[in-house]
Each structure stands twice: as structure tokens, then as C-alpha cells.
Amino acid sequence: MNTIPVGASRRDFLWQSGGGLGGIALASMLGQAKGNGAQGTHHPAKAKRVIQLFMAGAASQVDLFDYKPELFKRHGQPSDLKGKIEAFQDGLGPWLRPIWDFAPKGQCGKMLAEVVSPLGKVVDEMAFVHNMTGKTGIHSQATYLQATGFQNPGFPGMGCWVSYGLGSLNQNLPTFVVLPDHRGYASNGTKNWDNAFLPGQHQGTILRPGTPSPLPDLFPRNVDTVEFSGSEKEARALLGKSDRIFASSRLDDSRIDSRIRSYELAAAMQLAAPEAMDLSKETKITQELYGIQPVGTPFPKEINLPEEADAMGRKCLVARRLLERGVRFVQIWSGCDNGFPRRNWDSHEDISRDHGPLAGGMAVAVAGLLADLKQRGMLEDTVILWTTEFGRLPCSQGGKGRDHNPYGFTSWMAGGGIRGGISVGPSDDFGLAPAEPAKATQVYDLHATILHLLGLDHTRLTFRANGVDRRLTDVHGKVMSEILA
Amino acid sequence: MLLSLLLLFQVPSQETKKVDFDRQIRPVLEKSCLTCHGAKKPKGGLDLSHGAKALAGGNSGPLLVPHQPDKSLLYRVITGQEPGMDMPPASSSPEKAKKLTGEEVALVREWIQSGANWPGATDKSNGTDWWSLRPLAKVKVPDSVPGNPIDAFLLQKLTAKGIGFAPEADKRTLLRRLSLDLTGLVPTSGEMEAFLSDKSPSAYEKQVDRLLGSIHRAERMARFWMDLVHFGDTHGYDKDQPRPNAWPYRDYLIRSFQSDRAFGRFICEQIAGDAFYPETRDGIEALGFLAAGPWDLIGHAEVPETKLDGKTARHLDRDDMVGTAINTFMGLTVQCAQCHNHKFDPIRQEDYYRLQAVFAAVDRADKTYHTDPEIGSRLAGLKKQKEQVEKELLALPGGSLTGLESKLRALGQSAPGKPEAFGFHSAIHPTPDHPEWIEIDLGREADLERVLLWPCHDDFGGIGAGFGFPTAIKVTLDGKPVVVLDKISFPGFEPLMIPVKGARGRTLRIEIPKLTLRQGDYIAALAEVEALDGKGKNLARGIVPNTSSSIEAGPRWGRANLTDGVKYEAPAEIRAKMQVILEQIAQEAGLPKNMAAESKRSELSAKIQNIQSVIASLPPAARVFAATVHNGSGAFRGTGPDGGKPRPIYLLQRGNVGKPLNEVTPGAIASLNPVSVDFPVSGNESGRRAALAKWIAYGDNPLTWRVFVNRIWRLHMGRGIVETPSDFGRMGMAASHPELLDWLATWFRDNGQSPRALSRLIVTSRGYKQSSQASPQTLEADPANLLFSRHRRHRLDAESYRDSLLLLSGKLRPEPFGPPFKDFVVEKPEHSPHYLYEKSDPADVSTHRRSIYRFVVRSQQHPFLTTLDTADPSLMTEKRNETLGPLQALAMWNNPFVLEMSRGLAAKVSKEGAKDKVVDVSESIRELFRTVLLREPTTREQEDWSALVRKSGAKSGLETLARVAFNLGEFVFVD
């Protein structure tokens, strides 16, 4: 989707696009670029699109991906956490063994917890990073950090930067799409994907598949349709005609034409968006691959795995369809606000109760997504990033739960340019923190690596805002060469 | 020949390998040297925190010999070449000072080899040699043209390019432009007719004055200011709870602009109104300025300052205040000096933390005040009286008891890290004689050794440790009495240990025969009951007890809290202090009473009661969310419990709250010292803010006046003289008309500092009144319109579009001020409210007010206004973006609000024929054009537009035409 900044002379535009130091931002070069964004990258790209999976509330590394035999051995013994550890609440109880057993999976033999064992069939595509470290145990700041690279509000999400850096691959869908948890937003709401200081077209657009207006204002509300849809075609024609007369006396101003064009694009989007989200176009086999149940299937009232798999599966399948149609960046959220009853990963009280259905459902859907992308040949140029705002402590909180752990957690990547079947950056024997603190991985490194795979140098993708040349990676970040294929 | 070839090859490689001091060397020094060689008591007299001091060297002589690493002491000590001076010394712990890696040693070598350039170390100008930091120049107006001086400055540059102003815009264009510019509303057709028919030479000026005096202009200015200070009606961050008392600051802004407040006073009110104008409404409401931005509720209310996460939250909070104050008023990116000295502008890291120290005592919270100044001052008098009487009371012989008790309370509140679950709280009774009991079924018969009762500490109600602890207790096991205790003394934080060795049974029961005094009533409260066996195992853990009564107010109070394992063990230091006070209290209570003092005491107590009841009878106080000394409890205490004493602020190594270096005192940016202002270290904290306000508002501050006039210029002219309005530093853009900027700044400063007069000067200039059409010569000479050779056409901003639709459809409710309207529905408000805009009814008249009165949510921005690039309330917006795109087109075409306004407009323009009472289509279309486009339709337009109505029928047809009209380029763009 192309959008045109208004009111800017070419010089203004270069300035606003971060070109103040003489460099022309990619965005401006790609303003006219059609099709493959690779024409304007800093170096040849390995991938051209991204899916980010965000587990909101903080997913437990030791119960899912980071196998720690020591915890099984020491279960119930008093925990002695090394280093300066502060619990967010009072979760410094005895060691708590992983809730599920682990078994080796795939050619690589990666140990996965039973609850995420469906991912075993695609684990050879995945690269685990077990030495992630954050800066805070407060959900909001930590979510901002993972989503935007800064702890406080006011910065664009990663998808906004990718949109800004690479532009669009299509004409009639947004560049950066967000699929929030259907029950509500995570900490910070829409601020996790807002464009902040970047021009508006780079903001994440929320899509709500299966609703009457899956994209904001795609159509008038039903109550308005009666009066306004009868002469829709004539009304558009009248608007176009009047605007062309207006433009004819202001020929030196291309914005007036651009605006006429934006209404034509809007009409195209009315056709393209519902089509992109129509899962009935998919075969039953494909739907089952993602864990999707037939429409109208009743679910129990309590949180349960089949329902979670269905909800996540629908988002993942919509994501694949969007990517096929040229959407550049899709962000999928699992988990809404950290309230009760838990529909989020913030398992202070009971890991099994919440992580069971959430992780189990996620594993079914995401395994389906990776397998499907692979069989369609799309995995090779799509990067998948699985992330969360921080991890959970290896000791117990109140017996069955775990408190926040910003010191160490796990993320994983897969797809375009990623070496699959590996685990890097080990954590310590208990999964509390990186084994080698000096080599800890931070969000800046994940972001730098993803931009690198997309052909962008994270130190050169900048935008001037309130006097500062801003970057997704602030003043940090290094490309993680050990996970590159 | 060979030599020169080598040189040729060497040059570029040196260029590319040049070591960057700030990026590569400074971090090494900070990691390995600064612990000992910092600004505070530098070892060996060597201070590596400042370039100049470092170059001067320490007791062992100069540190660096440029280009000669092997002769430089620095290089020698890190490579072990200097006998007895291996650095960092082996004795220092690796946590404090890390050994340099081989790579770092090589970097230092390379850096010295390339000349050991230490940026800023030898800069004699102190970095202030930059146009915007120089004093305002005394500029003479070019005498080429009489009239408005602005035109003389603009024409000077245009003439040099061989062009002049574009022709004056026609009257219709002019009034539309002026009205939108000054008020954010399109003119009505009546206003346009009046202007067109006014043939007097001052017709335009009359319109300017009418619009400048309108409340709508004050609203427009306030909205512009709210962009800068990132105003919102929710906190943002996690949960995004509403901030119901933010709006009085918005009303303050509107009143200030309406009364044309002098700018210097406007600055002082917003930073320290409570100090300059105490007990006034404006002086308090203006403090909403510092609190306008986002606030991390969880980081404050659930995490105390003793934890690192709590420190970070408060650091970020002050950072936002510093940024808001300095960015808004002085256009400097001061936040860049948080981890290191500013790389481009003369702002040292220490300056930044000195600015944080200015705000070290305040938090963001509701502040109470009286909108009626008379009541405010009466209240202040009463409070003073009360303080006086309280002092007398304390001074009575034997009167220290109350003092001790409040000491005890403060000590209890100061204890860090208390859990949220307080414990069990019985029902509240008017008398103490109401037995309560707790019963725990241990599940099996067991031998018990000890029973432990843990006291509560109610910090929520501000009561502190030992809250409600029983004064007498009877313990039974299976109905058989085991222990009876009476006269239990006040426990503070200490648990009461009851030995029950030899007792065996299944049902443990604790009876409380007499309740404990709360505040005029009686209760019993306990945090935890532990039943310990011989091995010290707590058999009661996790078993929910049965109780005679219980206030269930989770998570703080509930009977399940008694056995949840959550109890609080205070730090030993606090417990020891508490014991001392408790002993003193016991002593005091034992002394014989002085009868005279007792009668005086009751007299004074009655006086206090009296004053309190007068205070209670005053009208209720208003509240504004502002920067204030917060008097809280639990994790979010604020500095109120410490009498508003500012928190100590430290220079943080690399901006890391876990690595404080030396403490700093409050201050401003040292290199830009326009006036010597004394920043008080002691005394009321507001003195610090008052000093900063004075420093900013001082006449010789080079930035304050330039920055403000540039903002107003940009508002009217569409482009700033400096087009980076919030960055006047070296990374900002240069001024296109530096003389004009200085002349305007000086004129504004010295002529009453009136924002209204400044706007008037600009919009009455010939430069402002130019057409937006460019001639070929102009396009050639000034293609990007940097010289203001024509007016800048722009798209309507979000609020102007929405408000104008309301106005034209006849639905605008123009009443100013007051609580905000909500054009969303809130669901699930208890945890993280869902703000659902799509569920709001666009026909709801309570939402038909100007957009400035909208309740601004941070976590879920207004979807419609966002597509039109409204300001993001989470970031300071120096200028709005202006974008076009399909999502915006969809919103303008389909959004329920636009369609509802289209219905209104259609009804308003619909004209019925005089005889037949049937809608007269062509007359209605004429009225539609007059209303929206302020002109008559052409014959061709009349035909085209009527054709649509003929197809759809009159009502639906006119509504569709109204929708088309609101989407026209001619309406959306402003010439």
C-alpha cells in the first residue's frame, strides 16, 4: 500500500525521512518502487517479509523450550537464585520442576516440552535463543522494549520500521498488519504498533477476520448502508469528477492527484481485504493443519486447548494469506491484558492452568503455519520471530505459579536466512539467566538480525524526530551471525 | 616513489579506522577507570570524567602524549609498562573495574596514535558557538518597504532572487484560510457574506480581530499546546487507567490564551505556579503541564522505589518532565545527555541530572485546590492555625506521646517491599467488647510446638505496622484451652510467638475477646497464623480458616490471607528502631499525669476538632492531575511522608539506574547561563522549580523567545523559520530568515509578550495574504517555497475536519470548558479498560463538542482522527504529519461520524418549494455549495449533482451529496 506524505517539498521529505546527514532514506527511494522491495536494500536480502508471534504476559522458558534437568532433580528444594534477583511479587519459593516432561524432537534432537511437542515436526527449522535478557520486570515497559526497542511509549513498532525501510509489496492491502488477541489488547494497547513519529502509513493496521468490517471503515455500518449504498457508484464518480476539476487549476500540486488516487486504492481494498481474510477458500486439510475447527464448533467456557488452537490457527492462516498477497509484516498476539480469568501468559498462580491451553494451542497452530509456509516455498523468504516480554522464574510462586523473570528468557526464529535446528546462547543450569552474562542477547540484537535478513543495516535505518536521529535499535544491537544460515 | 604510494594507501585506511572517542573510548574508561578516577574524590588527583581535567593529568603527571602511545602514561599503565602502576589494579574487584581486553587496549593505542582527540576538552567556546545559543541580535528592519516589518524581511530575500510576493489571495480564500488558521473552524456562509460585502479598507483586519477574540481561537491554541506537551486523559502504559482530573489543565490553557497571558508568566505558571502564584486557580491547574505525559501506574503503584524496577519507573518519569520542560520551551534535545554528554550541543550529562533534581520531589498525582481563590486562602489560613495548635499540643509536658506515635507510624510506612495481601480484618464494631475468632482445621491430629501470629501493616489506609493487633488472646485446641494471654503489647513488625509445646489436636482456634481501637471504632486484624510442629513445619499453611467475620476485599483483605504464607518481615534496622520507640512509648505511658497539662490538652484537642469541622464545611476541593508532592503509602509513597524532601539524584553511569555515581544538586544547563539563578538545595522543593522557570523565562535566554515565536510562525505560515521547531541545536535545521527570527523574538519579548499580538502581526502581513498559486517564475526561483513566495496549501488537520463537519451539519455544541466527552464505550473497566470507539453512537449529542474536549485515550487512539494524523498523546509532537492514503479515504468515506454529519447537513440545506412543500433540488444544492464550499455551484455542477438526486430520491440523494461534499478536495485542502 502506498501512501503519500502531503505538504512536503522534496527537500522537506528527505529531511523528514532521516536524510539530514545527506543520505537518502530508503523510504523515499522506494516511494516509487513497485514490486520487490529488494531494489532498495542496503545489502542483498535473505527475506522479504516477517511474521512476529508475541506471547503477551511473559511465557515460561523453562516449561516450554529450555530444558533444565537440574530443576527436575532439585524440585521442592529451597531455591538459591544467584545474583541480584528481585521478584516482581513474592515468587521466590522453592525450585519448581518444569510442568511438563521433555523429549527429543526432530533430526536435531531438540528437547521440547510435551505441551509444545507439535512443534517437533518443524523444530529443524527453528533457531532457539536461550540467553535473552531484558531490562525490567514490569509488563508494560518490557512489552514496549520487545515491540519497539524502547521502554517508554512514543516509539514505532518493529513492523513500522520495516514498512518505512522497505515500503510496500502490494497496492491494495496495508504493509504492516496486526492480528491482536481476539479478547483484547496486551499491555500498552495499540501503542505497541503505532507509527509514533513515522508517517502514518507505516502504522500497524488492525485486521479482525470474521467480523463485518475486518478493516476499520472498510464499509459503512449496516445501519448506514440503506441510505448510502444505493448510489455508491454514482457518488464516487461525482467525487472523482469534481476533484479532477479542482486539480486542473492546481497542476503544480501533485497531492491533489494523489488524493484522487487514494480513493481508487480504497475501492480496490474493499475487494482485496475480505478476499484475503476468507478462510473458507482454504481446503479442509489446510484448516486442520492449523488446528482450525469448523465454524460454529461449541467450546467449553473454561480456557481449553482446542479453542486456543482454533483462535491462533485462524490468525496464522490469515497471516499466510496476507503474506501471499504482499503484506510485508504481520504481528500476531496471543494473550490479552494481564487480568483474570487468565487469558494471557502471566501465570503467577498456575502455569499448568494457563500455559497448558495457550502453549498447546499455539504449538498446534504455529507448527501448522511453519509446515504450510515450507510446503508452499514461502518459508525461505519469510522470517518468523516468536517472542514474549520476559520469562518466568525457575522457582515457584505459591506452589504452582512462577513470578516474572526479566533476567533470562527464550525467543526463537525460523525461516528466511535462519539456520534451523540449533539452540544458541545457553542459559545457566536453572534457566534463570544467561550462562555467560557478557554474551546475553538483547532485543536490539533480534531486531538488528531481522533487519539484516531483510537487507537493512540497523545503524543506517534512521528517522529524525524531535531533533534526534532515531533507530529501531537505539544505540545498540549486533547481528547474531551464529543463527544465520 | 614507493613512499608516496604507501601514503596514498594509508590515507583512506586511516580515515575509515578513525576511533570514535564517545563510542569506543569513553565506555572503556567508564568500565575500567571511572570507579576510582571519577569526579568524586579522584584517586591520585586524576579525574577522567571531564576532558579538560583528564588532559591536565593527575599527581603522576600528564596522561597523554598525542600520537605517541608508548610515551603516554595512560597506555603504559594499561599495558603494564609502568613499574608499580598496573591499571586497573589487581586489588580492585572485577565488578568495580574491569581489566581492558586486548581489543580495547588496541583501540586506546589507535586513538592516541591518531592524536588522542577528546571532544570538548579544548573547546574554549564551551560549545556555545552556535547561532541559536548566541544572544538575540538587535536587528534593524530593512527600510525598503513601509508597513508590516515582516514583509520587509521576507521581500528582502525574495527580491534577491528576482521575485516578489504572489498576488493577494481572493477574499473568499482569505477568510477561509484565516478562519481555519485561527479557530480551526471553517467560516459559515453568513460570515463569508458579511466579509464579502464589507468594502471598507479595514475589512480584513476586522475579521482578524473578531477571530482573535473568539473563544474558538483560544481552543485552537490550547490544542496546539497540548500536542507539544503530549496531553492525555489516561495514564498509558499497562492497564491504561483513566486520569479523570487531567482536563482542568486543558481549561487552564484555554483561559490563558483567551486572556492573552504574557508568555513569561505562562512559563512560570506551568513549571512552578504553586510557588509564584500560591492559592490561585491558575497557579495550580497550570502544573498539569509537567504531568501531561504518560505515567507508569504499575511501575509506581506496585513497585517501590527500593527495587531497581521502581527506580527505573521514577527515572523515566522525571525524564519525561525534564524533556517536556526543556523541549517545549527551549527546543533542545536535552534527553540525549542521559548516558553521556550531548554529542552535538553543549549539554553535559551532569546538566541533565541536575535538571532531574529540579523535579526530584514531585510525582504525577491529583492535586487538590479551590477554584475560588477566597476559599483557597481561607483554607490555607485554617491549616496554618491547625498546625500552630498542634505544635502547642506537642509542647505540653508529657506531650511527646503523640509525636512518638506519629514517628512510629512513619517508620512503619517507610519499610520497603511489603506484599499486597495484608491479611485478615474482622468486622468493624463501635465498641471493643465483641469477641471474634479464627478456626483452622489442620486436617489431622498433630503435635504442636508453637503458634505464631503475624501483625498487619495497613499502608493503604496509611496506618502502618501493628494495625489491629489483638491486645488479648485465648488459644484452644479441639475446644481445650491451651494458652490465655492478656495485655499483649503493640507488636510493630514483630510476630507474637505463643509456646504450646505438648498440645495435641486437630482444630486450632484463636479467640479474640476484646477488639483493638482503629479510628473511633474497633477491629481485629492479623497477617498470618502459623501452627508449627516440632520440625518447624507450618501445618496451617494453605488451609483456609473459618472466622467469626471477615472483610473480604481481595487481594488486600480476606480470611484466606491468614494462611497464604504471605507475611512481612521488615529489615532488621527498621525493627530495631521500632523497638526503641515502643520502649519510649511504654515509659511515657507509665509517668504520673500532670493535671494542668491534661486540661490544656483537652482544650487544644477541642480547638483542633473545631478547625477540622470548619475545614470540612468548606465547599469540596477541585482536583487536577499535576506535578505535586505525593502523600501516598505502600509502593507509591511519593515524598509526602518525608515532608516533600526531594529524592537524592545521582549522575548515572551510562544512564543505568543500577550504577549511581556522585549525587548532583538541582540546576540548569551550565553552558547556557543567561542569568545566575540560585537553585536552592534546601527549603521547599518548589523553589527548585521556580528557579528553573526563572532561568527559562529570563529575557536573555537565547532560546526561549526564538523557539516560541518560531512555533507561532509555523502555525500560521505552514513552515517554520526553523523547520525543526523542537530542535534548535546543531542537529536542527538552520533558520531560513535568521534576522526576521531575532527581530520577531525581540519584538515579542519587549512588547508585552502577547501571543495574540504576535499572531495578529503575522496574519496581517502581506506575506500571509499571498495566494497559494505559484507563477512559473516563482516555481523556478523558489521551488520548495522556503522563502515564503506563496502561501502553503495544506490539508485540513484532524480536529479542524471533525469540528467543521459538526459546525456545517448544524450539530456543533459550542459550549467551552468542563469535563471531557467520551466518544467510546468502556468495557471491563476494572483491570485494563477496553475503549471501544466502534460502539459509540455518532448521533449521541454529548459527543458533538469540539475535539479539544475529547477524552484522549493513550493506549487506543481515536481511529478516525488517527487516519487524519492527529497527535499521538504519548509523544511530544512538534509538528503534525500530513499524509494521504487509502485507509484515510475509507475513513472519510465510510466512517459513521461522517455519515451522521452528512445526514445533518442534508437536513440543513434541504429547501422546500414555497407552494408544493416538495424538496427543491436545485435550491438545496445551491445551499449545499454555499455552506460547504462558500460559493455558488456552476451550471455544470448543478446538472451533475441534481442527476444523482433524481436517481436516489430527494432525502437519500441529498445525504449522499453531503457525503460527497465532505470528501471533496476543495473542502479538504486549504488554499
Q: Is B733's CB within 8 Å of A188's CB? A: no
CATH architecture, domain B149-224+703-781 = Orthogonal Bundle (1.10)
Mean per-residue pLDDT, B153-177: 97
pLDDT (0 to 100) of residue B66: 82
Residue B218 grid cell: 483560544
Residues pairing with A128 in the sheet: A412, A423
Q: Where in chain A are the domains?
A: 38-206+291-483, 218-277
Q: Is A250's CB within 8 Å of B793's CB? A: yes
Looking at chain B, how many residues does it have?
975
Q: Which of A396, A365, A348, A434 is nearest to A57 (CA)?
A: A348
Instruction: For residue B652, give the amino acid letter.
Output: L
Shortest Cα–Cα distance, B895 to chain A (Å): 5
Residue A429 grid cell: 543450569
Query: Using a CB-CB distance cutoff of 8 angstroms, which residues of chain B are in contact with residue A469?
Result: 731
Query: Residues 814-833, chain B: which have Cβ within 8 Å of A?
Result: 828, 830-832
Mean per-residue pLDDT, B726-740: 92
Query: Using a CB-CB distance cutoff of 8 angstroms, which residues of chain B are in contact with residue A246?
Result: 968-970, 973
Shortest Cα–Cα distance, A75 to chain B (Å): 18
Whether A20 has its CB under 8 Å from any CB of chain B: the answer is: yes
Phi, psi of A113 (to 5 degrees): -70, 150
Does the pLDDT value for residue B363 go beyond 80? yes
pLDDT (0 to 100) of residue B401: 55
The separation between CA A212 and the C-alpha centre of its own chain, rounded to angstroms, equals: 24
Cβ(A421)–Cβ(A110) under 8 Å? yes
Query: Residues 304-333, chain B: which have Cβ within 8 Å of A?
Result: 307-309, 312-313, 316, 319-320, 327, 331-333
Q: What's the DSSP call for residue B369? A: E
pLDDT (0 to 100) of residue B975: 95
Q: Which residue has the higher pLDDT, B254 or B85?
A: B254
Q: Is B948's CB within 8 Å of A231's CB? A: yes
Q: Is A243's CB within 8 Å of B863's CB? A: no
Q: What's the DSSP call for residue A183? A: T
Over residues B280-306, the pLDDT tens digits come to: 899 999 999 999 999 999 999 999 999
Residues pairing with B834 in the sheet: B827
Residues pairing with A206 in the sheet: A178
Query: Residues 21-80, chain A: which have Cβ within 8 Å of B?
Result: none
pLDDT (0 to 100) of residue A14: 34
* CA-based radius of gyration for chain B: 36
Q: Which residue has the higher pLDDT, B497 or B862?
A: B862
The separation between CA A385 and the C-alpha centre of its own chain, rounded to angstroms, equals: 7
Q: Is A187's CB within 8 Å of B237's CB? A: yes
Work out the burial of residue B396: count CB atoms within 10 Å of its CB; fewer than 13 is exposed, 13-18 middle, 19 or more buried. middle
Whether A11 has its CB under 8 Å from any CB of chain B: the answer is: yes
Q: Is B948's CB within 8 Å of A140's CB? A: no
Q: How many CA atoms lie within 13 A of B381 on its CB side?
A: 8
Mean per-residue pLDDT, B488-503: 84
Indicate which of B238, B344, B797 best probes the interface with A, i.e. most A CBs within 10 Å of its own CB: B238
Q: How far apart are the first and last CA of chain A?
A: 31
Between B332, B884, B957, which is nearest A255 by CB?
B884
Query: Using a CB-CB distance cutoff of 8 angstroms, which residues of chain B are in contact with residue A201?
Result: 883, 885, 887
Rounded distance, CA B965 to CA B898, Å?
11
Rounded distance, CA B75 to CA B105, Å?
8
Cβ(B29)–Cβ(B48) under 8 Å? yes
Work out the burial of residue B508: count CB atoms within 10 Å of its CB; fewer than 13 is exposed, 13-18 middle, 19 or more buried. buried
Q: What's the DSSP call for residue B237? A: T
Q: Which of B420, B407, B461 is nearest to B577 (CA)?
A: B407
Rounded distance, CA B380 to CA B359, Å?
24
CATH architecture, domain B414-576 = Sandwich (2.60)
Residue A343 grid cell: 487469558
State the fold for domain A38-206+291-483.
Alkaline Phosphatase, subunit A (3.40.720)
Indicate which of B960, B961, B966, B974 best probes the interface with A, i.e. most A CBs within 10 Å of its own CB: B960
Does the pLDDT value for residue B206 go beyond 60? yes
Local confidence pLDDT in tens for the 485 residues of chain A = 544 444 333 333 333 333 222 223 333 333 333 333 334 799 999 999 999 999 999 999 999 999 999 999 999 999 989 888 888 888 899 999 999 999 999 999 999 999 999 999 999 999 999 999 999 999 999 999 999 999 998 899 999 999 999 998 998 899 999 999 989 899 998 899 989 999 888 999 999 888 878 899 999 998 888 778 778 999 999 999 999 999 999 988 888 998 999 999 999 999 999 999 999 999 999 999 999 999 999 999 999 999 999 999 999 999 999 999 999 999 999 999 888 889 999 999 999 999 999 999 999 999 999 999 999 999 999 999 999 999 999 999 999 999 999 999 999 999 999 999 999 999 999 999 999 999 999 999 999 999 999 999 999 999 988 788 899 999 999 999 999 99
Q: How far apart are the first and last CA of chain B?
A: 67
Q: Is B299's CB within 8 Å of A138's CB? A: yes
Query: Residues 237-256, chain B: which have Cβ within 8 Å of A?
Result: 237-240
Query: Using a CB-CB distance cutoff of 8 angstroms, which residues of chain A are in contact with residue B788?
Result: none
Rounded distance, CA B632 to CA B314, Å?
15
Between A11, A259, A399, which is nearest B884 by CB?
A259
- Enumerate residues 6+ apart whose C-beta is below 8 A from A4: A31, A255, A258, A262, B883, B884, B885
Q: What's the DSSP call for residue B90? A: T
Q: Which residue has the higher pLDDT, B609 or A248?
A: A248
Mean per-residue pLDDT, B823-849: 94
Rounded distance, CA B805 to CA B186, Å?
9
pLDDT (0 to 100) of residue A96: 97
Chain B residue with the nearest C-alpha to that of A342: B831
Residue B326 grid cell: 526543556
Q: Which residue has the higher pLDDT, B478 or B180?
A: B180
Rounded distance, CA B235 to CA B729, Å?
31
Between B238, B731, B964, which is nearest A187 by CB?
B238
- Enumerate residues 6+ apart whose C-beta is below 8 A from B635: B300, B301, B302, B303, B304, B305, B310
Query: Using a CB-CB distance cutoff of 8 angstroms, which residues of chain A are in contact with residue B303?
Result: 88, 138
Does the pLDDT value for residue B9 go beyond 70? no
Query: Residues 233-252, chain A: which have Cβ within 8 Å of B?
Result: 234-235, 238-239, 241-243, 246-247, 250, 252
Q: In this prediction, does ipTM exceed 0.90? A: no
| Inter-axis angle of helices B308-330 and B704-717, nearest 10 | 70
pLDDT (0 to 100) of residue B786: 93
Beta strands at B825-827 and B834-836: parallel, antiparallel or unpaired:
antiparallel
Q: Where in chain B are the domains?
A: 19-113, 149-224+703-781, 262-369+625-697, 373-397+603-618, 414-576, 896-974
Shortest Cα–Cα distance, A362 to chain B (Å): 24
Between B882, B886, B959, which is nearest A265 by CB?
B886
Cβ(B524)–Cβ(B458) under 8 Å? no
Query: Residues 397-436, chain A: which have Cβ within 8 Å of B?
Result: 398-399
pLDDT (0 to 100) of residue A24: 31
Rounded distance, CA B881 to CA A144, Å?
23
pLDDT (0 to 100) of residue B590: 65
Rounded distance, CA A373 to CA B248, Å?
54
What's the Cα-to-Cα distance from B349 to each of A369, B356, B652, rounded to whole Å?
49, 11, 9
Comparing A50-59, A144-153, B456-465, B702-711, which segment has the lowest mean pLDDT? B456-465
Rounded distance, CA A376 to CA A371, Å?
9
Query: What is the model's pTM?
Result: 0.76
Q: Which of B549, B522, B513 is nearest to B431 (CA)?
A: B522
Cβ(B779)–Cβ(A252) under 8 Å? yes
Does the pLDDT value for residue B12 go beyond 50? no
Residue B286 grid cell: 497550570
Work out the burial of residue B153: count CB atoms within 10 Å of its CB; fewer than 13 is exposed, 13-18 middle, 19 or more buried. buried
Question: Which band of pLDDT confidence, cut at 50, 70 and 90, is reported for residue B592?
Answer: low
Counting one residue from A and one from B, how many pairs have CB atoms under 8 Å apart? 305
Chain A residue with the nearest C-alpha to that of B298: A138
% of chain A at pLDDT higher than 90: 77
Whether A271 has its CB under 8 Å from any CB of chain B: the answer is: no
Whether B599 has its CB under 8 Å from any CB of chain A: the answer is: no
Question: Which band of pLDDT confidence, cut at 50, 70 and 90, is reported for residue B502?
Answer: confident
Mean per-residue pLDDT, B216-229: 98
Indicate which of B241, B309, B726, B857 best probes the interface with A, i.e. most A CBs within 10 Å of its own CB: B309
pLDDT (0 to 100) of residue B1: 38
| Inter-axis angle of helices B215-228 and B203-212, nearest 10 | 60
Beta strands in A114-175 (DSSP E): 126-132
Question: Which band of pLDDT confidence, cut at 50, 70 and 90, is reported for residue B591?
Answer: low
